[in-house]
A and B are shown apart, each in its own frame.
Chain A
Amino acid sequence: MLNADDLAVFPVDVWISDAVQWVALNLRPLFLAIKWPIESLLTLIDGAMHDAPFPLVVILFTALAYMLASRKIAIFTAIVLVLVAAMGVWDPAMTTLSLITTAIFFCALIGLPVGIWCARSDRAWSIVRPILDIMQTTPTFVYLVPVVMLFGVGTVPGQVAVVVAAVPPLIRFTNLGIRMVDREIVEAGIAFGASSRQLLWEIQIPMAIPTILGGLNQTVLTAMVMSVVVAMIGAEGLGLVVLQGIGRLDVGRAVIGGIAIVLLAMMLDRITQKMAEPKRATARSRWLAALNLDRLLSRNGSSETVASQSGTNA
């Protein structure tokens, strides 16, 4: 009888180890160059978050949630942060948040231009799309292998893994958002003489923003998941709390880590989801209107005439 193991003649594992070893040895400057900006920003944000007094952080995040989303979500944000502090996992939570904040920055830096490029070039999209497919079907766990080989272990390599795992949704949604812009409106732009740069900035990007923000929401959630998983390669944060809890059979510690993760994830999801909603009179538009006070006033002035005119025009 033929045994399946008899067929194992391809030493794929050997080839891959050799290849990775070669890359790690010969392309070391490249990986250092990739690591440097990520490490710098992470150190900066992480330092700021840990050094800032606890009340200030709560106030800042609450204010941010109010501006980006709504009052309800601002209150929710404040409650989440206080609960996290009350459970005694404030420090690891701040590390996780700085991992995510850094990831958002680099994902936007990479994802937006790549997404725009894909939307404007079918050839680019046909190259990028299969790569995104592979990246998104790969379990987050599997990302750790090459990262450890190429970047080592610790929080910074963990951050690299978070960025790599979280960038595909943003590229996808940016591409989709721009491609989905109503054809007639794009035609209007061209018909009025827009150059391709004007078309992009005046029409395509403004109209794709709700979709792009939807992608940002996905990116944030993926970053959240990944920031926990990278605890396995030695990254600090809430993931490490859970991992330590499991390792020491300390169920309580593992669970509070888990609860804090869920709370933070809910908070980030609510804020970014609200941003992606089409705006009518949301907090954000009120906030924007406040910046442009005279326009606000003239709009209020003219709305008085709405009632009198609507009878004839409706």
Chain B
Amino acid sequence: MTERLRVENVYKVFSNTPQKAMERLAAGADKDAVQAELGVVVGLNDVSLSVPTGAIYMIMGLSGSGKSTLARCVNRLYEPTAGRILLDGEDIVQLNQNELRQVRRTRISMVFQHFALLPNRTAIENVEFGLKLRGLVPKKRRARAEEVLAIVGLDRWAYHFPHELSGGMRQRVGLARALATDADVLVMDEAFSALDPLIRNEMQDELLRLQHSLKKTILFITHDFQEALKLGNMIAIMADGRVMREGTPQSIVLDPGTDYVAAFTNDVDRSRLFDAASVMRPGSAVAERDGIRVIAASSTGGFAVDTKARILGRLDEAGLAKAKDGADIRAVLAPDFVSVAPDSKLLDVARKCRGIEDLAVTDSEGTFLGVLSPASILTAIAASSNAGQERHLEEKRHA
């Protein structure tokens, strides 16, 4: 994947005279030390990120971590104190006001936490807003706004005012306004945080659905780790103006690195996060005859595959032993077996388990990819449940 947006060593110090604070930061002082010493608030402390084209890149952090500051530096609502922000290789920190306006009108758009809709305009007029600023003629911008409102499913509400819409619908208008400008990069600042949990969930699904066809590059700010896991292709966890950990959702949960990050990952429902591919084992060929190969990951069972790696059947413990001793493989295999797709989540995989029987992981053409044992699924899920349970016990003991 190519890189659309790159943040390089960006600092943001909220002060008219940031030099001293910058010196202290360069000397290794952290946000709190600089604030205690100079009374200056540090928003971002040497932040570097790389956002691939078409990715949903989650910036996750608690309040005061600098996540919203970062979002506002990307389109220069806040001027970075130092560093570079490269959009398709072009440093937007260097742009003059005119060029910056063009970037904001056509290449980066934004969705706000509290929607930031104009209360005195109808939904469709709000969607048109960016196009109006760009100077598009009324007829064209109305046509485009109608198109985008239909995409977010609000075409029947076009002529209603924001106060007549529910929270979820208002944010759909906010999203439509951002999509209308055809910008490649969307900055979503806590876009769903102000919504009810059910509506939030619905909006997250909606965003994933839209992203499937639109393929925007989305920088999504959130304080909700679950949301980050659900939406993100990549996650950066921020604290005190720094990036603590950057990686894919699965890699962060598997290896949090620091206690700070681990505190978030403890509560994660791994059965919904990890997929079959992350737990499966490739197995090894234990017997091969007449163009049939037997692949097993343990002694309790295996799968027989043909030369094209398509599964012919399953062998149980006894069958596997006979096959190893040279019996006819076709005679010992059972035709029924359970197979799952590599991207199905462990929760769905667990629902398909039959007793202690191994499961096969196959791609959409039926090609064998690996073996999943119920035990390995349990182990993968339990890693989190244990941690979660221990914490609950701990809390009970304290209470």
Q: Which residues of A contact B (CB under 8 A)?
A: 182, 184-185, 187-195, 198, 202-203, 206-207, 295, 298-299, 302, 305-306, 309, 313-314
Contacts and interface: CB of A to CB of B under 8 A. Distances in A.
B114 A184 contact: yes
A302 B160 contact: yes
B102 A193 contact: yes
A284 to B, nearest CB: 12
Nearest to B177: A192
Contacts of A185: 116-118
B127 to A, nearest CB: 11
A285 to B, nearest CB: 10
B168 A187 contact: no
13 contacts: A184-B112, A187-B116, A188-B116, A191-B104, A191-B110, A191-B187, A202-B118, A202-B129, A203-B118, A206-B118, A207-B120, A313-B168, A313-B169
A185 B166 CA distance: 18
A207 B118 contact: yes
A184 B113 contact: yes
B260 interface: no
B166 A192 contact: no
B77 A190 contact: yes
B65 interface: no
A191 B181 CA distance: 12
A187 B101 contact: no
B105 A193 contact: yes
B118 A193 contact: no
B158 interface: yes
A184 B190 CA distance: 12
B177 to A, nearest CB: 8
A297 to B, nearest CB: 10
A193 B102 CA distance: 7
A77 B145 CA distance: 44
A195 B114 contact: no
Nearest to A182: B116
Interface residues of B, number: 36
Contacts of B169: 313
A-B complex: 7 closest residue pairs judged by Cβ atoms: A193-B105, A193-B104, A188-B116, A191-B110, A192-B130, A184-B116, A193-B101
B181 A192 contact: yes
Contact of B159 (A184, A192, A298): A298
Contacts of A306: 160
A212 to B, nearest CB: 13
Interface of B: 72, 75, 77, 101-106, 108-110, 112-114, 116-120, 129-130, 132-134, 156-160, 166, 168-169, 177, 181, 187
A182 B133 CA distance: 19
Contacts of B75: 191
Contacts of A302: 156-160
B226 to A, nearest CB: 24
Contact of A194 (B114, B133, B187): B133
A184 to B, nearest CB: 4
A193 B133 contact: yes
A59 B75 CA distance: 55
A190 B116 CA distance: 12
Contacts of A295: 159
B157 A192 contact: no
A23 B221 CA distance: 63
Nearest to A186: B116
Contacts of B116: 182, 184-185, 187-188
Nearest to A206: B120
A288 B156 CA distance: 22
A313 B133 contact: no
Nearest to A183: B116
A194 to B, nearest CB: 5
Nearest to A305: B156
A93 B108 CA distance: 59
B104 A314 contact: no
A314 B157 CA distance: 13
Contacts of A202: 118, 129, 132-133
A167 B169 CA distance: 42
B118 A313 contact: no
Nearest to A296: B159
A188 B110 contact: yes
B298 to A, nearest CB: 50
Nearest to A191: B110
Most buried by B among A187, A207, A305, A306: A187
Contacts of B103: 193
Contacts of B181: 192
Given A193-B133, A193-B134, 18 more contacts: A184-B113, A185-B118, A188-B112, A188-B116, A190-B77, A191-B75, A191-B110, A192-B105, A192-B110, A192-B129, A193-B103, A193-B104, A193-B106, A202-B118, A202-B132, A203-B118, A302-B159, A309-B157
Nearest to B97: A195
A299 B118 contact: no
B77 A192 contact: no
A187 B112 contact: yes
A305 B132 CA distance: 28
